[in-house]
Amino acid sequence: MIFTETSAYNAALVERLGGEACCLERLGLVLQTGYAAFKLVWLRNSQPKAHWRIDSLLLPHDYLNFWLTGERTAEVGDASGTGYFDTRKRRWCEEVFAEIAPELDSKRVLPRLIEAHQPAGTVCPLLARELWLADCVVVSSGGGYNMLGAIGTGNITPGLITMSLGTSGTVCAHSDSPVIADNATVENFFASSGG
Measured between alpha carbons, how far is residue 61 from residues 64, 65, 96, 107 in Å?
5, 6, 23, 20
Question: What are 161's strand-pairing partners?
Answer: 173
Global pTM reads 0.86
Q: Report which DSSP code applies to 35.
A: S
Q: Report which DSSP code applies to 111.
A: P
Domain ranges of the chain: 2-173
Domain 2-173 has CATH 3.30.420.40: yes
Residue pLDDT tens, the chain, 195 long: 445 667 788 888 889 889 988 888 888 888 888 888 988 988 998 999 999 999 999 999 899 999 999 999 999 988 988 999 998 888 999 999 999 999 999 999 999 999 988 999 999 999 999 999 998 999 999 887 777 888 888 888 888 888 888 777 788 888 888 777 777 777 777 777 777
**76 burial type by CB count under 10 A (0-12 exposed, 13-18 middle, 19+ buried):** buried
